[in-house]
Structure 1
Amino acid sequence: MYTPKDFVESRLPVLHDAIRANAFGTLVTAGEGGIEATHVPFVLARDEGPMGTLYAHVARGNDHVARHAGEVLSMFTGPHAYISPNGYPGKATHHREVPTWNYIAVHAYGTAETFTDPDRLLDLLSRLTEQSEHDTGQAQPWKLSDAPADYVAPMLRGIVGIRIPIARIEGKWKLGQNRPAADREGSARLLEQCPGDNEQAIAEAMRSV
């Protein structure tokens, strides 16, 4: 990922937090058949290995990972927003400004392993469900154990687990760090006038760098 020095984010806890906040990622592989991508929810085991370990699952008929050996890429995209030149104070005087796009992204690399052991799959799905239900804010989150065991068991036979120990990880926080503080503040104020969650999140992030 091309990342100018102003936009580099290398703090592992920050990168892990971004993965957790944007757990629906994209798994990318490249091989003799070309480049392939699958969109899946991930579970991050932060303390499993030096940089953490990612877990996901796919339908058994999805042989994406099985057909591609070697390094895989997992991408996690955070909030993003269009940045209008109207937020820059200089626009009103010299007009020498152009738009851009601000965003947060994490790329994690590693070698994927697959597994079909029912106990491991059940543990993965339980962790994924707990993570996802937590984000709904429900008073009584649904648990995998709420479903009958004889109903879940055949479903486990229809999926394949994926484990990716993270070998390297990089983050890009493109939030106007290369611009004067007045430009960042002006852009943040303009974004705050927009109704979208992405715009609000980027405005907040721009003020935190």
Structure 2
Amino acid sequence: MPDPQLYVPRLNVMDPDDVRPFVAAVGTAQLVTVGEDGTPDATFLPVLWEGDRLVGHLARANAHWRRIVGGSPALAIVTGPDTYVSPSWYATKAEHGRVVPTWNYTVVHLRGAVTVHDDAEWVRGLVTRLTEHHEQPRDDPWAVTDAPADYVEKNLRPIVGVEVVVGSVEAKAKLSQNRSDEDRAGVAAGLVADGRDPDGLVAP
């Protein structure tokens, strides 16, 4: 049986230099694993991509982490903005009418072996790094050490860490690259008219 792959037409291959910044900007993923009984689990969680590791945490009350088999394959799905694209936005609609609706989106699939970290210090380090990542741009960034130590300890107990050793990366940006410059301009204008920022939803 062939390995599963993300369908990525040539025009939709994401620039490799853009993949890590994209994952960092989104900051979340859907972690998908399959337990010993063959039942799939999926959890939305905050993540950091550090070297060859994707790390995050789940609620201890979420039974997903207990069903993870250490070292088993996992899939982390990172999605960006997405939008319906109306064929009425295309300049070519007026020319020949041979246009249909579609959907624009960006997605990254990270696959690799997964490990659970039910370890307070590991989780504390992760939460500290996650906080620093998201607070760093602020004028007055909040730090984990700003909260009372006993309060931090209390709030670390209900979470469990998870780590995926990234073995493969597949990235797709379906942003109307197959359309003409005029059609892409029409999509951008249509998104603006609908109150949407076209940045990241249509190729420049």
Aligned-residue offset at 1:185: 2.2
- 1:97-108 paired onto structure 2 within 5 Å: 97-108=99-110
Question: Aligned-pair distance for 1:173?
Answer: 0.5
Q: Is the 8 A contact 1:29 1:65 kept in 2?
A: no
- The equivalent position to 1:22 in structure 2, one of 17, 23, 26, is 26
Aligned residue in 2 for 1:127: 129
For 2:9, the equivalent position in structure 1 comes to 4
Aligned with 1:92 (options 67, 76, 94): 94
**Residue of structure 2 equivalent to 1:190:** 190
Which of 78, 81, 86 does residue 79 from structure 1 map onto? 81
CA distance in 1, matches of 2:196, 2:91: 23
User: Where does residue 164 of structure 1 map in the other structure?
Assistant: 164
Equivalent-residue separation in structure 1 for 2:175 and 2:107 (angstroms): 11
- Consecutive unaligned residues of structure 1, counting only runs of 5 or more, are none
CA-CA distance at 1:133 after TM superposition: 2.3
Unaligned runs of 5+ in 2: 1-5
Match of 1:179 in 2: 179
Q: Secondary structure at the match of 1:78?
A: strand
Pick aligned residue for 1:36 from 37, 41, 45: 41
**How far, CA to CA, are the matches of 1:77 and 1:155 in structure 2?**
28
- Between the aligned partners of 2:139 and 2:48, the Cα distance in structure 1 is 22
Question: Among the aligned pairs, what percent are the same residue?
Answer: 38
2:111 alignment partner in structure 1: 109
1:191–1:200 contact (8 Å) kept in structure 2: no
Q: For 1:45-84, what aligned pairs fall within 5 Å after superposition?
A: 45=50, 48=51, 52-69=52-69, 70-84=72-86
Shift, 1:110, TM fit: 1.0
Using the size of structure 1 for normalisation, the TM-score is 0.86
1:22 and 1:110 mapped to 2: Cα distance? 20
Q: TM-score under structure 2 normalisation?
A: 0.88
Is the contact made by 1:89 and 1:186 (CA closer than 8 Å) also made in structure 2? yes
In the alignment, the residues of structure 1 paired with residue 115 and residue 171 of structure 2 have an alpha-carbon distance, to the nearest angstrom, of 24
> Does the Cα contact within 8 Å between 1:126 and 1:144 map onto a contact in 2?
yes
1:200, distance to aligned residue in structure 2 (A):
4.1
Once the two structures are TM-superposed, the CA of residue 87 in structure 1 deviates from its matched residue by 1.9
Separation in structure 1 between the aligned mates of residue 150 and residue 194 of structure 2, nearest angstrom: 49
Q: Alpha-carbon deviation of 1:93?
A: 2.9
Q: CA deviation at 1:29?
A: 1.1
